[in-house]
Structure 1
Amino acid sequence: MMILAFLDLFGMDIPGGEESLLGILAKGGVTMIVLAVLFVVNIYIFFNRVVVISKAKKEPRALLDNVLNAVKSGDLETAKSYCRKDPTPMAKMLKAGLDRITSPLKNIEVAIENVGKIELYYLEKNVSILGMISGAAPMIGFFGTVIGMINAFMSMDKGNVDTSDLAGGIYEAMVTTAGGLFVGIIAYISYNYIVRQIEEVVHNMEVASIEFVDMLQAPTLQN
């Protein structure tokens, strides 16, 4: 079905309609099964990361302002409560800083940085698989095509092969290339979209940590 949509998108006619295409996909054998599995894995990881990142991208300004104002007024418990109620990575970083607010500034910075690394790891979980699929899927498709071409020419070498049968075998083999490219393109777009969204979250985390540390260095807090 996904190959049918891909071919229809570019105005390519499929002999025999959808049933003929499904028959061709079935003849693709293991290659098409592998591509189908990669496609499902890609879709699952993509939507899983979208959900996780959408929660992490919650508007950071309100939380940061509330925490900074509470710390400036000396109400650390209120500042910590703001962080506990917020599930974002930025809130966890600020909470780590608040827990060590009586420690040297260097220790506070290290604590915030360590939590940030852990949160970044969770955000990037399985994202590299999307990159792998974007590169591997086209190659798997080409591999399936080469195998199909080899089989077609082996049959021709044996003789008594009808030209239409040979042509049919070749375009059946080419479907694996289309399938590989389709899965690869979807994975490539998914990967780059997720990476861009993670960069926005990381930027917000960096801004929050810098403002928090700058506030701690203010003369009114140091005295």
Structure 2
Amino acid sequence: MFSLIQLQADTIANAATGAVVENIAPTTEISVLQFILKGGFFLIPIAFLLFYTFYLIIERYLYIQKASKIEPLLMRDVRDQLNSGNLEIARSIAERSNSSSGNILKEGISVIGRPIVEIESNMDRAADIEIGEMEKHLGHLGLIAGIAPTLGFVGTISGVIKIFYSISVTENISIGNISGGLYEKMISSGAGLIVGIIAYSGYHILNGRIDNFALKIQKQILEFVNIIQKA
């Protein structure tokens, strides 16, 4: 009798366990790429903006690094030649440096003999041109910093509209249906914000390097003018 009761109890326990296992939703794992692709159509322009952002940051960084290089011995060599009266040699030294600072010095050397104000003005204009070359296309980064998050937000809004339209048609307001659609559509917002942050950071980092160059070049112009006045 006791064995029969024990057998029935084990059967009931096994049945309950099986029911619990059956009620547990199966967990499905997806790759990162599959997860990202659930973001929808608006991820395509966001991905394009991401690649363009990286291209701009790398291209501008390399250009600015090369152009803003100021050789520590350049001014000394130019000063020695100016003190010796060798203007052509001083100009060729500045030209051979193949840098923005060298181009600015070359413009100053080419107008030696004119009033100091005119020399400074000529060098300032040359500096503005060089800085303008460094800032070329940087405005695109600022534009991307604003466009990318907006595109992501529009992608999310369009997805939410589709979800509520589907609910109005099917009258299915289950939590799984709503939350599943929302998390997929919010991927585009997250992607847009990430691209915007990268573009915003790159824009200000590169502008900081240009501002640093502008400060150094103003000191160089002042030193050049002092050399001319003492000559």
Please report the TM-score for the alignment, with normalisation by the length of structure 2.
Answer: 0.82
Once the two structures are superposed, what CA deviation does each residue of 1:177-203 show, in whole Å capped at 9, x if it has no partner?
Answer: 110111011111111110111112112
Shift of residue 19, structure 1, vs aligned partner: 4.8
Matched residue, 1:188: 200
Structure number with greater Rg is 2
Tell me how far apart the structure 1 counterparts of residues 53 and 141 of structure 2 sit (CA, whole Å): 6
Mean Cα displacement is larger for which, 113-122 or 60-69?
A: 60-69
User: Could you list the runs of 5+ residues in structure 2 that have no partner in the other structure?
Assistant: 1-27
Q: Is the contact made by 1:60 and 1:204 (CA closer than 8 Å) also made in structure 2?
A: no
SS at match of 1:60: coil
Decide whether the 8 Å contact of 2:69 with 2:101 is kept in 1: no
Could you give the per-residue CA deviations for residues 158-212 of structure 1, whole angstroms, max 9, x where no partner exists? 1243733332211111001110111011111111110111112112211111111
The one of 64, 67, 82 equivalent to 1:56 is: 67
Give secondary structure in 2 for the equivalent of 1:161: coil
Distance 1:32 1:55 in 2: 35
User: Structure 1: any 5+ residue segments left out of the alignment?
Assistant: 1-13
Match of 2:222 among 190, 210, 215: 210
Give the whole-Å Cα distance in 2 for the aligned partners of 1:20 and 1:191: 31
CA contact (8 A) 1:56 1:201 kept: no
Distance 2:193 2:204 in 1: 16
Amino acid in structure 2 at the alignment position of 1:61 = P
Q: Look up the SS of the partner of 2:72 in the other structure.
A: helix
Is 1:20 aligned to 2:34, yes or no?
yes
Cα distance between partner residues in 2 of 1:129 and 1:19: 28
- Sort the Cα spacing of 1:33 and 1:23 in 2 relative to 1 into closer, same or farther, 3 A: closer
Q: Give 1:61 shift.
A: 2.3
Which residue of 1 is the match for residue 97 of structure 2? Answer: 86
Q: Secondary structure at the match of 2:35?
A: helix
Q: Aligned equivalents of 1:47 and 1:19: distance in 2? A: 25
Q: Is contact 1:130–1:187 with CA below 8 Å preserved after alignment?
A: yes
Which portions of structure 1, spanning 4 or more consecutive aligned residues, are displaced by more than 4 angstroms? none
Aligned residue identity for 2:120: E
| AA at the equivalent of 2:105 | L
Counterpart mapping for 1:132-171 below 5 A: 132-161=143-172, 163=174, 164-171=176-183
1:119 to 109, 130, 134: 130
Cα distance in 2, alignment partners of residues 192 and 149 from structure 1: 34
The letter of the residue matching 2:188 is: T
Between the two proteins, the alignment pairs up a number of residues equal to: 203
Which structure 2 residues correspond to residues 62-101 of structure 1 after superposition, within 5 A?
A: 62-101=73-112
Aligned to 2:188: 176
Q: CA deviation at 1:59?
A: 3.4
Could you give the per-residue CA deviations for residues 112-146 of structure 1, whole angstroms, max 9, x where no partner exists?
A: 11111111110000111111211221122111111
Q: CA RMSD in A?
A: 1.7
Aligned-residue sequence identity (percent) comes to: 31
- Give the Cα separation in 2 of the matches to 1:196 and 1:147: 38
